[in-house]
C-alpha cells in the first residue's frame, strides 16, 4: 500500500502554485494539481514526478461547484486519501480602478473564484479527509490568502474583500477541525513575483526601492512554498488557526 502523503494544490499550473507543488513533491508528497486548461502542463508534471511520487492533473474552474465532486472522486479513486489541501487558486481584480465604478459581474467573478469556490471545494475535500484515521499522519488545510486580507487597496477592493473573507473562513475552519487533529493555516503572501504582478512590476519596483518592503526585495514563489511545506509537515499542528505573513516585513506596523 502506498504510504506517501497526498496533497491537493489548487491553481498550481503556474506561479506560487507551481512552487508549492514542487516543494511538497520534494518533501515526499504525491500531488494532485488543478488548473483551468483542458490538458495539464506536462513539463511541470514531469518535474513533480522526478521526485519519486505521483502527480496528476485535475482540470476545471474552481468557481464551478460541479467540478468539486469530480476532483474528489478522482482523488479517492487514485489515492484513497488526501492529507493536505492547499487552497492557492485565485485571481486579481478584473478591473483596477475607483471602487465606485465596480461592476457587479466583476465583483461576482472575483468572489466566485477566491472565496465561494474555495470554500465549497474545502467542504468537499473534508468529507474525504475526515474519513481517514487520525493516526494516518498529519492533516492540514493551508489557505493562501494575501496581505490584502488586512491591508486595503481602494483600486481593487473587491480582491481585498475576497481575501478577508477567506481569512475568516480559515479561522472558522480551525475551530471546527481542531478536535479532529486537522491544522488550518492562513498564509499571507505580500508582493510576490508572479504573472499576476507582472503588469504592475515597475510600480512595485519603485515601492520596494523606497522601503515599502523592509527586506528590500520581491518575494518569490519559493518563499511561500517553504512556509506551506513546513505547515503541511505537521510540525506546527498545535498552532492551528495561525496567520503567517510571507511579505518581508511589509505587514509590520511602523511609525
| Catalytic residue positions, numbered | 159
Question: Residue 84 belongs to what H/E stretch?
Answer: strand 84-87
d(CA 141, CA 156): 27
Q: Rounded to 10 degrees, what is the CA torsion of 11, 35, 123, 64?
A: 120
At 59 the three-state DSSP class reads strand
Which residues have a Cβ under 8 Å from the Cβ of 14 and sit 6 or more positions away? 41, 194, 195
Cell of 246: 510571507
- CA torsion sign for 81, 37, 47, 24 is negative
Range list of H helices, 38-96: 42-49, 66-78
Q: Which three cell numbers stand for residue 183?
A: 491544522
Characterize the bridge pairing of strands 243-246 and 182-189. parallel
State which H helix or E strand residue 187 sits in: strand 182-189
Dig out the grid coordinates for 99 from the structure. 471602487
Amino acid at each position: 500500500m502506498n504510504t506517501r502523503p497526498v496533497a491537493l494544490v489548487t491553481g498550481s499550473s503556474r506561479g506560487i502554485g507551481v512552487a508549492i507543488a514542487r516543494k511538497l513533491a520534494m518533501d515526499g508528497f504525491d500531488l494532485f494539481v488543478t488548473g483551468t486548461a483542458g490538458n495539464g502542463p506536462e513539463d511541470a508534471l514531469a518535474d513533480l514526478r522526478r521526485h519519486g511520487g505521483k502527480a496528476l492533473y485535475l482540470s476545471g474552474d474552481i468557481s464551478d461547484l460541479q467540478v468539486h465532486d469530480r476532483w474528489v472522486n478522482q482523488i479517492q479513486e487514485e489515492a484513497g486519501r488526501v492529507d493536505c489541501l492547499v487552497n492557492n487558486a485565485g485571481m486579481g481584480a478584473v478591473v483596477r480602478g475607483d471602487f465606485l465604478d465596480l461592476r457587479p459581474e466583476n465583483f461576482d467573478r472575483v468572489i466566485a473564484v477566491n472565496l465561494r469556490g474555495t470554500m465549497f471545494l474545502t467542504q468537499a475535500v473534508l468529507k474525504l479527509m475526515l474519513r481517514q484515521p487520525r493516526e494516518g499522519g498529519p492533516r492540514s488545510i493551508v489557505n493562501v490568502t494575501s496581505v490584502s486580507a488586512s491591508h486595503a487597496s481602494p483600486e481593487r477592493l473587491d480582491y481585498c474583500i475576497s481575501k478577508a473573507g477567506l481569512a475568516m473562513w480559515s479561522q472558522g475552519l480551525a475551530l471546527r477541525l481542531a478536535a479532529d487533529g486537522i491544522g488550518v493555516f492562513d498564509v499571507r503572501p505580500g508582493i510576490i513575483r508572479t504573472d499576476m504582478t507582472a503588469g504592475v512590476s515597475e510600480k512595485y519596483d519603485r515601492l520596494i526601492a523606497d522601503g515599502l518592503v523592509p527586506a528590500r526585495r520581491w518575494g518569490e514563489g519559493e518563499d511561500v512554498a517553504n512556509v506551506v511545506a513546513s505547515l503541511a509537515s505537521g510540525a506546527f499542528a498545535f498552532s492551528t488557526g495561525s496567520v503567517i505573513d510571507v511579505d518581508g516585513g511589509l505587514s509590520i506596523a511602523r511609525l
